[in-house]
Chain A
Amino acid sequence: MRKSLLALATGLLLAGSVSAASAADKLKVGFIYLGPIGDLGWTYQHDQGRLALVKELGDKIETTYLENVPEGPDAERSIEQLVRAGNKLIFTTSFGYMDPTLKVAKKYPNVHFEHATGYKRNPNMSTYSARWYQGRYIQGLIAAKMSKSGVLGYIGSFPIPEVVSGINATMLAAQSINPNIKVKIIWANTWFDPGKEADAAKALIDQGADVIMQHTDSPAPMQIASERGKLAFGQDSEMIKFGPKTQLTSILDTWGPYYIERVKAELAGTWKSEDSWGGLDSHMFAMAPYTNMPDEVKKMAEDAQAAIIAGKLHPFKCPIVGQDGKPVECKGGDHLDDGQILGMNFYVKGIDDKLPGK
């Protein structure tokens, strides 16, 4: 009896190693996720990108992901685990993985890394991100048209440049419609925490905001806005099912095409360290259908989107006046240059809030 059990055990282990061997011929691609794949926001969209990748190149690659990896001491180990499991191209999908990714990248020069939304690169470490501020600008236009109270509610995650530039783009657009528009900002200090995000939405509505915008990842604020009969913008993914009468539009992260392009390059041996920062024209992100608004507002939004894609409209068009009343230096000719947007660390005039830590 014991012998047969042992034989069974060996057989099973052998079967396991055989299947591992056949998988070894395929390119292994790894992903590190911040939230659970079911967060219906940021991580969900990255996983949709991964699934699109599998659909396109599934016969040539094998993908693996680690979810719920905190941006702390465990991140470096998780990334290294993927390397040691044989992954040759690894996507680390949150800003906070920047230093851990760089550490592991320096240690394994033959493995390629792709870090989302960061600014540190290495010969084997690319960065990729999207010009979401373009979408925020369109949202700002819509918000100013739709708000009756003239107060917008904004749920921020961390006061990093990406989030600050989103707030500024929103406000510049909104001010172009209604110069007296106000914005209330609450920093949730988290990317994903439905409870905190919901509390923030409630507090903003209690302070008079009637259009809620968020830079956090869960649909909770949308649900609160829906309960209270207010309007809101989704984030990262299509959230209309959480607020069929609430969602105006949503910035949709569409990572699939980028992931497919980079993996194809890896397969062809032409992968290079790059800095990709795609806008609406590059399909790095898209806008969800414009809903719950009058036709003329919808038309305005669509026109703005077309103008941005055509390069005729730049959200950070000069002159821009800072919160301190002084004009901001214009390094990109008639608009701010990419460096200024990537490192944005100031509010524009009219934002009645103090940038944390300033």
Chain B
Amino acid sequence: MQLVLEKRAERSGTIALVSPLIAVGLTIVTMVILFAILGKNPLLALHAYFIAPLTDGYSLQEIAVKATPLVMIAIGLSLCYLANAWNIGAEGQFLIGAVAGSWIAVRTQGTDAGAWVLPAMLVLAAAAGALYALIPAICKVKFGASEILTSLMLVYVADLFLDYLVRGPWRDPHGFNFPTTAEFDPVATVPLLIEGGRLHLGSIIVLLVVAAAAILLGRTIKGFEIRVVGAAPRAARFGGFKADRLIILTFAISGALAGLAGIIEVAGPIGHLQPGISPGYGFTAIIVAFLGRLNPLGILVAGLFLALTFIGGEQAQIAMKIPLDVTKVFQGILLFYVLACDSLILYRFKLVFPNRQVARGAG
């Protein structure tokens, strides 16, 4: 006797949409129990997590700031994953983009460089991210190397490279040896949308990216090709679609978007290059991509939701003295339920009795 997961035949679009909502509902129920055990008022805690951050402009800005890199990276990753190309190294592409863009900022520091600096930084960052993502893609296509492993390992290479630069050649000469570049000049900084706020141009760019991805996937042949190659590789081959070319293309796009996210983060909220510029955005974006069902609009919602849990978690820490660990538990439980709901909705458990099957086959 064996327990197997069997794919359900019918698969409605409604269910795919409802599944994450069920997961969120279950998470909330679990958190209520957890808060009660911790001796915290569950209603107030949920209020701090989900409602309070949505009620003032400041927190809304912060949610947008936090969601910007997550959504930008996740959009690129979703294209890869739809085409069955497993880019796990967005974190590295993010860092390389940040480094490449910062190169211009560091080089032009203190000179009277014009308004071309920021656009050049964005373009160079995207190009560098794309090139960096092409390494695993080409290794996959030419040599059959697992893109999961190579892209992941390149994260550490990027991380150490950045580390070397800010500790060595790019270190701020007046920074008392602290590993950071000098603050970027105003022309090398992503402009703020609200004076005195933190919302920056990157949030607008990310909306454009979401729209572009929605059009690409929904209305173009290329988008169709991406989806077919991922969903039905054999059919795609008969249709004349080349899976290899698509791996290269989707990796390049996702690397470019991750690189862009990297430079926007560095030239925006941070303002200089330093180690630890990413609290794991490239990895969290993988969660965002799947939570958003690999759909551009879904990813936008998922990114905002995840950002909300970060900001809400901080406010819960302040308002209710709920430890940071609870926020992490909370995010973990959410993912657990998302995966569980997906599995149970798309698959069903079945007890398999090998003997009887053989008998039936013989009969």
A residues with CB within 8 A of B: 9, 12-13, 15-16, 20, 30, 36, 64, 66-68, 70-74, 76-78, 80-82, 84-85, 95-96, 99, 107, 119, 158-161, 164, 189, 343, 345, 355-357
A85's closest neighbor in chain B, by CB?
Answer: B318
Neighbouring B residues of A84 by C-beta, 8 Å: 58
Neighbouring A residues of B276 by C-beta, 8 Å: 70-72
B226 nearest CB across to chain A (Å): 32
Contact of B44 among A12, A77, A85, A161 (CB under 8 A): A12
Contact of A95 among B43, B178, B321 (CB under 8 A): B178
Does B279 contact A67, Cβ atoms closer than 8 Å?
A: no
Does B144 touch A at the CB level, under 8 Å? no
Complex CA distance for A81 and B171, rounded to whole angstroms: 30
Complex CA distance for A66 and B316, rounded to whole angstroms: 10
Contact of A67 among B47, B65, B324 (CB under 8 A): B324
Neighbouring A residues of B254 by C-beta, 8 Å: none
As a 0/1 sequence over residues 266 to 282 of chain B, the CB contacts with chain A under 8 angstroms (1 = contact) are: 00011100111101000
Complex CA distance for A64 and B41, rounded to whole angstroms: 18
As a 0/1 sequence over residues 316 to 351 of chain B, the CB contacts with chain A under 8 angstroms (1 = contact) are: 011101011000000000000000000000000000
Complex CA distance for A72 and B270, rounded to whole angstroms: 7
Contact of A357 among B41, B177, B196 (CB under 8 A): B177
Does B119 touch A at the CB level, under 8 Å? no
Neighbouring B residues of A67 by C-beta, 8 Å: 317, 323-324
Does A81 contact B315, Cβ atoms closer than 8 Å?
A: yes
Does A160 contact B178, Cβ atoms closer than 8 Å?
A: yes
Neighbouring B residues of A355 by C-beta, 8 Å: 177
Contact of A164 among B41, B177, B179, B270 (CB under 8 A): B177
A161's closest neighbor in chain B, by CB?
Answer: B176
Known: A72-B270, A119-B176, A345-B176. A85 touches B319 (CB 8 A): yes
A71 nearest CB across to chain B (Å): 7
B78 nearest CB across to chain A (Å): 24
Interface size bracket, B side: 35 or more
As a 0/1 sequence over residues 159 to 181 of chain B, the CB contacts with chain A under 8 angstroms (1 = contact) are: 00001000110010000111100
Complex CA distance for A96 and B274, rounded to whole angstroms: 11
Does A72 contact B277, Cβ atoms closer than 8 Å?
A: yes
Does A9 contact B179, Cβ atoms closer than 8 Å?
A: no
Does A78 contact B314, Cβ atoms closer than 8 Å?
A: yes
B277's closest neighbor in chain A, by CB?
Answer: A72
Does A13 contact B47, Cβ atoms closer than 8 Å?
A: yes
Does B265 touch A at the CB level, under 8 Å? yes
B residues with CB within 8 A of A: 41, 43-44, 47, 58, 62, 65, 163, 167-168, 171, 176-179, 183, 196, 198, 265, 269-271, 274-277, 279, 311, 314-315, 317-319, 321, 323-324
Neighbouring B residues of A66 by C-beta, 8 Å: 314, 317-318, 324
Does A161 contact B177, Cβ atoms closer than 8 Å?
A: yes
Neighbouring B residues of A357 by C-beta, 8 Å: 167-168, 171, 177
The 5 closest A-B pairs by CB, nearest first: A16-B44, A85-B318, A72-B276, A73-B269, A159-B177
Neighbouring A residues of B270 by C-beta, 8 Å: 72-73
Complex CA distance for A107 and B315, rounded to whole angstroms: 20
B86 nearest CB across to chain A (Å): 28
Neighbouring B residues of A64 by C-beta, 8 Å: 318, 321
Complex CA distance for A81 and B315, rounded to whole angstroms: 7
Neighbouring B residues of A70 by C-beta, 8 Å: 276, 279
B158 nearest CB across to chain A (Å): 16
Complex CA distance for A80 and B56, rounded to whole angstroms: 14
24 A-B pairs with CB atoms under 8 Å apart are A13-B43, A15-B41, A16-B44, A16-B47, A20-B319, A66-B314, A66-B318, A67-B324, A72-B276, A72-B277, A84-B58, A85-B319, A99-B183, A158-B178, A159-B177, A160-B176, A160-B177, A160-B178, A164-B177, A189-B179, A345-B177, A356-B167, A356-B168, A357-B168
Neighbouring A residues of B65 by C-beta, 8 Å: 77
Neighbouring B residues of A16 by C-beta, 8 Å: 41, 44, 47
A33 nearest CB across to chain B (Å): 10
Neighbouring A residues of B183 by C-beta, 8 Å: 99
Contact of B179 among A13, A80, A158, A161 (CB under 8 A): A158
15 new A-B contacts at CB < 8 Å, known A73-B270, A76-B269, A78-B314: A13-B47, A64-B321, A66-B317, A70-B276, A72-B270, A72-B279, A73-B277, A74-B279, A77-B314, A85-B318, A99-B271, A161-B176, A161-B177, A355-B177, A357-B177
Complex CA distance for A64 and B320, rounded to whole angstroms: 9
Neighbouring B residues of A107 by C-beta, 8 Å: 196
B197's closest neighbor in chain A, by CB?
Answer: A107
B204 nearest CB across to chain A (Å): 19
Contact of A77 among B41, B62, B171, B321 (CB under 8 A): B62
Complex CA distance for A283 and B55, rounded to whole angstroms: 45
Neighbouring B residues of A356 by C-beta, 8 Å: 167-168, 177
Q: Which of A77, A78, A80, A158 has the most CB of B within 10 A?
A: A77
Complex CA distance for A66 and B320, rounded to whole angstroms: 12
A357 nearest CB across to chain B (Å): 5
Q: Which of B163, B198, B265, B311 has the most CB of A within 10 A?
A: B198
Neighbouring A residues of B62 by C-beta, 8 Å: 77
A120 nearest CB across to chain B (Å): 11
Does A72 contact B41, Cβ atoms closer than 8 Å?
A: no
Does A72 contact B177, Cβ atoms closer than 8 Å?
A: no
B169's closest neighbor in chain A, by CB?
Answer: A357
Contact of A81 among B176, B178, B277, B314 (CB under 8 A): B314
A50 nearest CB across to chain B (Å): 12
Neighbouring B residues of A30 by C-beta, 8 Å: 318
Neighbouring A residues of B269 by C-beta, 8 Å: 73, 76
Complex CA distance for A73 and B62, rounded to whole angstroms: 11
Complex CA distance for A95 and B274, rounded to whole angstroms: 14
Contact of A343 among B163, B168, B176, B196 (CB under 8 A): B176
Complex CA distance for A78 and B313, rounded to whole angstroms: 11
Does A13 contact B314, Cβ atoms closer than 8 Å?
A: no
A8's closest neighbor in chain B, by CB?
Answer: B43
Known: A73-B269, A77-B62, A189-B163. A96 touches B277 (CB 8 A): no
Contact of B274 among A72, A77, A119, A160 (CB under 8 A): A72
Does B324 contact A68, Cβ atoms closer than 8 Å?
A: yes
Does A77 contact B198, Cβ atoms closer than 8 Å?
A: yes
Complex CA distance for A245 and B99, rounded to whole angstroms: 47
A119 nearest CB across to chain B (Å): 7
Neighbouring B residues of A9 by C-beta, 8 Å: 43
